[in-house]
Amino acid sequence: MKGLLLVTNNVEDGEALLTRDLLLRAGLKIDLVSLSRSKKLKTSHGLTFEADYKLEEIDAYSYDFLVIPGGGYVFDLMAEEPPKTMLKIGTIAINFYNSDKLIAAICAGPMLLNEVGILKNKKYTCFPGCETNIDGIHYGDKSVVVDDNIITGRSVAAVVDFSYEIVKHLKGEKAAKDLLKNIVFE
């Protein structure tokens, strides 16, 4: 199983990097793929890191699952004119959705799924306040919500639970519980 985790400048640190770390610990392969012109990026809290690839260097459809972290970049992309990056993300997300591949989005990330209609009539959670921009069925009191092949998380505080659900969906409950045991999460 190989995952595609989309990143760019101003991505939320933990939602991108800790999610990746936890998925790697669970034995999943996951590439950080930059939506920017550069692979060298800076998180919303100033951490610099390098993506594995730029979007144009990969075949996005060869991946088995998609992870969309949150952060201020989501609002930047939604305001982008013309919406070139949004169109790229939307095309990828719709392809994954139509192929019944797992899509996981956390914090403000679910707003990007909403832009292409994926969350319509779906249960979801997101960062408080973002739900006003989403058409689905909001479960604001939940840190993580699973609806078929869509997993959503509320915020960086939900990253362990979010990653657990991704692993459970892809590798089964035993692998997900092993992940929690290995990181001494009680």
Residue 123 Cα to chain centre, angstroms: 16
CB distance 179 to 22 below 8 Å: yes
Q: What is the CATH number of the domain that holds 127?
A: 3.40.50.880
Quote the pTM value. Answer: 0.97
- Which residues form the domain of 91? 2-182
Scored b (16 or more CB within 10 A) or e, 87-125 reads: ebbbebbeebbeeebbbbbbbbbbbbbbbbebbeebbbb
pLDDT, residue 140, reads 86
- What are the tens digits of pLDDT across the range 7-42? 999 999 999 999 999 999 999 999 999 999 999 999
- What are the tens digits of pLDDT across the range 57-86? 999 999 999 999 999 999 999 999 889 999
Alpha-carbon distance of 111 to 62, in angstroms, equals: 24
Q: How many domains does the chain have?
A: 1
DSSP characters over 22-63: HHHHTT-EEEEEESSS-SEEE-TTS-EEE-SEEGGGS-GGG-
Task: Tell me 160's DSSP state.
Answer: H
User: Would you call 131 helix, strand, or coil by DSSP?
Assistant: helix
Task: Give the angle 137-186-124 at the CA atoms, nearest 5°.
Answer: 10
